[in-house]
């Protein structure tokens, strides 16, 4: 879809919003690229830093170095100097041009980075307009699916809304920040050309009912009859309308011509894109199943397709995970749950599947995962919130986390004790007891709140974000064979990083800095509280399972140093060429572990 046929006039950002979005992106890029050791920040005076670039430009700013050696930069302070002239830094694209040599960017990589920068700024200015005047307290009260449309998004990826492949019309109609509903294309697919699996309680007739009311089901049935289609011979497959037009109609043209794939039309409820773009929630019925659909756009370092190898095992794997949550005493008492993947379909491309090393995006174009909505898990007096939303700030710099703490009536330490006990402990327990590692970043965890206090957590996204520790763990002997065959097995130290990097670095790194600014809770006390919660859990676990000491030693979350995992560096180094596999993060110099520091530095407040 182009702007010309979108039916709406293009919106233009104000100069004020444009400068705010650019300055924020420059500050974020400086902070992350210095953290990843691609750029070097020199401290000029206490609290003042300079990044000198080979181009002759340099950037100066005020910042506080956090416990992670990450610079918490005051956006309003960032200035650019070049040829003796100093100005406010309000041009993010110019920053990347200035830093191109230091980042070792080829001309092609820099060109694509500037493309992603332009797209990210377009989305960021739209968000500034949408959030204008909404306080952190009001943001914190929004339903989760509505709040996701107002979030800044991935805090680590510097150009996190690059969406290469989309234009202004697609941003306006299908972007998360649009807040607009999307009608879905429905196909009928012959089972013989698909890989699929479903929970026994969810046949495909039930899945259709989650997306359509009675009148739409009747309209679909009439369309099927007119084409001679019955659900005894075909599987129903929803497709994002952009994906259908841009990739499926031509790439799967042969299968369509042979009748292996049949086009039915647009039917059913509209869906709201969530912050990950490819996950959609039912706009009319929030408790209905979510849909995860492939979108072959390049965003936050990879194409947002859906790998097919997990489709057959996804329902059984998530059912097994839910059983652990219900039967394991540590998980049950903390009300840990799973947003189960109840069904999935993947249609491999008949030719790309024969080509070893074909770009992975061509192997992930057509499929769907049906997944439980977090709303369906909330009991009376409970509501849900994506963990990444805690970091979102309003125009005055107040965060959703700060607003929840204030409205809960608890102090910051007590509120955080609940967060750590109900979120971090279950992740750590799954790791140590079962050898199950989850990449638990802010999108993969949904908090269940009661009276604005974290009461439990819901886990999701097991397709590639769940890995197993090497070695024998008797506790996971009940793992479904279909999952056992496809899940990756990694050394214990690697899986420790799924918790440390996936959650501590990707969520807590920003939360601890924000709450120090907002509440005065020092970062060392933040991590001392986390360490205390984990130590108490270890004592509980030892009393139930005497063999846990060996597990805690294998998954040593308290060791003095941890590896520094860098996601932006690998994108800059690898460039934008097609690859057969998704990018793998790079490793920098070790980080001093805040949990180790919390154990070894005395508290001045007696905490």
Distance (Å, whole) CA 17 – CA 121:
10
Joined together, the tokens standing for residue 13 give: 């950002």
Q: What is the pLDDT, as a whole number, of residue 127?
A: 97
Task: Extract the tokens encoding 99.
Answer: 């830093």
What are 11's two structure tokens?
Answer: 């919106």
Residue 602: per-residue pLDDT: 66
Burial bucket for residue 261 (CB in 10 Å: 0-12, 13-18, 19+): buried
**Side-chain half-sphere CA neighbours of 143 within 13 A:** 17
Q: What distance in Å separates the CA atoms of residue 463 and residue 311, rounded to the nearest whole number?
A: 8
Cα 379 from Cα 395, distance rounded (Å)? 32
pTM for the structure as a whole: 0.95
How is residue 528 written in tokens? Answer: 């001392």
DSSP-assigned letters across all residues of 270-334: EEEE-TTSSEEEESS-TTSPEEE--EEEEETTEEE---STTTTTHHHHHHHHHHHHHH-HHHHHT
Say which residue the tokens 């174009």 belong to.
365
Query: So what's the pLDDT on residue 302?
Result: 87
The token duo for 329 is 């005493």
Distance CA 459, CA 422 (A): 12
Q: Of the candidates 396, 468, 146, which has an alpha carbon nearest to the alpha carbon of residue 275?
A: 146
Helix axes 523-544, 425-434, angle to 10 degrees: 40
**Residue in 315, 307, 320, 322 with CA at minimum distance from that of residue 342:** 315
Specify the 3-state DSSP secondary structure of 84: coil
Sign of the CA dihedral running 239, 300, 501, 456: negative
Closest by Cα among 456, 505, 427 to 66: 505
Spell out the residues 6+ positions from residue 395 whose beta carbon is closer than 8 angstroms to its own: 131, 132, 133
pLDDT averages per 10-residue partition of the chain, 607 residues = 42 93 98 98 98 98 97 98 97 98 95 96 97 98 97 95 95 94 98 94 94 97 95 96 97 98 97 95 97 94 87 92 97 97 96 94 96 97 97 97 98 98 98 95 95 97 88 94 92 92 96 97 97 97 92 96 92 82 84 93 54
pLDDT at 1 (0 to 100): 39
Q: Which residues belong to CATH 3.30.310.280 in the chain?
A: 3-134
Domain topology for 381-600: Transferase(Phosphotransferase); domain 1 (1.10.510)
Q: Are strands 453-459 and 336-338 parallel, antiparallel or unpaired?
A: parallel
| Contact (CB, 8 A) for 493 and 561 | no
- Quick one: which of 372, 406, 359 has its CA closest to 581? 359
Element (H, E) at 385: strand 382-386
Would the CA dihedral through 530, 531, 533, 538 be positive or negative? positive
Dihedral sign for Cα 221, 223, 226, 232, please. Answer: negative
Q: Which residues pair with 345 in a beta bridge?
A: 196, 368
Fold of 3-134: TATA-Binding Protein (3.30.310)
What are the residues facing 459 on neighbouring strands? 338, 445
Contact criterion met (CB below 8 Å) for 237 and 188: yes
Spell out the residues 6+ positions from residue 250 whose beta carbon is closer than 8 angstroms to its own: none
The torsion angles phi and psi of 213, rounded to 5 degrees, stand at -80, 180
Those residues with Cβ within 8 angstroms of residue 336's Cβ, 6 or more apart along the chain or in another chain: 325, 422, 426, 456, 457, 458, 459
Segments of the chain assigned to CATH 1.10.510.40: 381-600
CA distance 301 to 95: 20
């Amino acid at each position: 879809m182009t702007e010309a046929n979108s039916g709406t006039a293009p919106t233009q950002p104000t100069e004020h919003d444009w400068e705010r979005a650019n300055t924020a992106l420059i500050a974020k890029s400086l902070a992350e690229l210095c953290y990843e050791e691609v750029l070097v920040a020199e401290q000029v005076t206490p609290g003042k830093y300079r990044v000198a670039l080979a181009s002759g430009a340099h950037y100066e700013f005020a910042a506080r170095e956090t416990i992670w050696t990450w610079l918490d930069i005051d956006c309003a302070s960032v200035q650019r100097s070049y040829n003796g002239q100093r100005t406010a830094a309000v041009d993010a694209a110019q920053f990347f041009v200035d830093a191109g040599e230091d980042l070792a960017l080829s001309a092609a990589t820099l060109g694509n980075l500037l493309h992603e920068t332009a797209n990210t700024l377009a989305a960021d200015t739209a968000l500034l307009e949408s959030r204008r005047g909404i306080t952190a307290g009001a943001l914190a009260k929004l339903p989760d699916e509505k709040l996701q449309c107002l979030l800044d998004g991935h805090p680590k990826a510097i150009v996190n809304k690059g969406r290469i492949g989309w234009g202004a019309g697609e941003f306006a109609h299908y972007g998360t920040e649009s807040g607009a509903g999307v009608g879905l294309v429905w196909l009928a697919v012959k089972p013989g050309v698909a890989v699929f699996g479903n929970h026994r309680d969810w046949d495909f007739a039930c899945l259709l009912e989650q997306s359509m009311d009675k009148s739409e089901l009747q309209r679909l049935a009439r369309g099927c009859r007119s084409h001679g289609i019955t659900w005894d011979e075909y599987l129903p497959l929803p497709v994002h309308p952009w994906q259908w037009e841009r990739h499926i109609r031509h790439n799967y043209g042969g299968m369509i011509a042979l009748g292996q794939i049949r086009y039915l039309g647009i039917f059913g409820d509209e869906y709201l894109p969530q912050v990950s773009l490819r996950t959609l929630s039912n706009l009319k019925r929030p408790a209905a199943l979510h849909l995860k659909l492939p979108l072959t756009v390049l965003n936050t370092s990879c194409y947002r397709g859906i790998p097919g190898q997990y489709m057959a095992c996804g329902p059984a794997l998530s059912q097994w995970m839910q059983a652990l949550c219900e039967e394991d005493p540590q998980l049950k008492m903390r009300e840990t749950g799973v947003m189960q993947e109840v069904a999935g379909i993947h249609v491999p491309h008949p030719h790309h599947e024969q080509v070893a090393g074909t770009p992975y995006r061509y192997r992930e174009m057509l499929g769907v995962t049906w997944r439980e909505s977090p709303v369906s898990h909330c009991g009376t007096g409970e509501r849900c919130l994506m963990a990444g939303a805690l970091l979102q700030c309003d125009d005055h710099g107040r965060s959703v986390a700060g607003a929840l703490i204030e409205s809960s009536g608890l102090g910051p330490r007590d509120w955080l004790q609940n967060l750590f006990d109900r979120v971090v402990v279950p992740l750590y327990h799954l790791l140590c007891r079962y050898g199950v590692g989850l990449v638990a970043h802010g999108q993969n965890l949904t908090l269940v709140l009661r009276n604005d206090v974290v009461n439990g957590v819901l886990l999701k996204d097991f397709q590639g974000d769940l890995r197993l520790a090497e070695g024998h763990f008797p506790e996971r002997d009940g793992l479904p064979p279909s999952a056992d065959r496809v899940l990756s097995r990694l050394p214990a130290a690697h899986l420790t990083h799924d918790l440390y990097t996936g959650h501590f670095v990707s969520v807590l790194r920003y939360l601890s800095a924000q709450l120090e600014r907002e509440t005065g809770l020092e970062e060392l006390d933040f991590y001392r509280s986390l360490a205390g919660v984990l130590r108490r859990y270890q004592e509980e676990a030892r009393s139930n399972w005497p063999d846990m000491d060996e597990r805690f030693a294998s998954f040593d979350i308290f060791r003095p140093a941890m590896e520094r995992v860098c996601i932006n560096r690998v994108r800059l180094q690898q460039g934008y060429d097609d690859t057969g596999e998704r990018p793998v993060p790079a490793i920098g110099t070790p980080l001093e572990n805040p949990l180790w520091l919390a154990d070894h530095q005395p508290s001045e407040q007696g905490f």
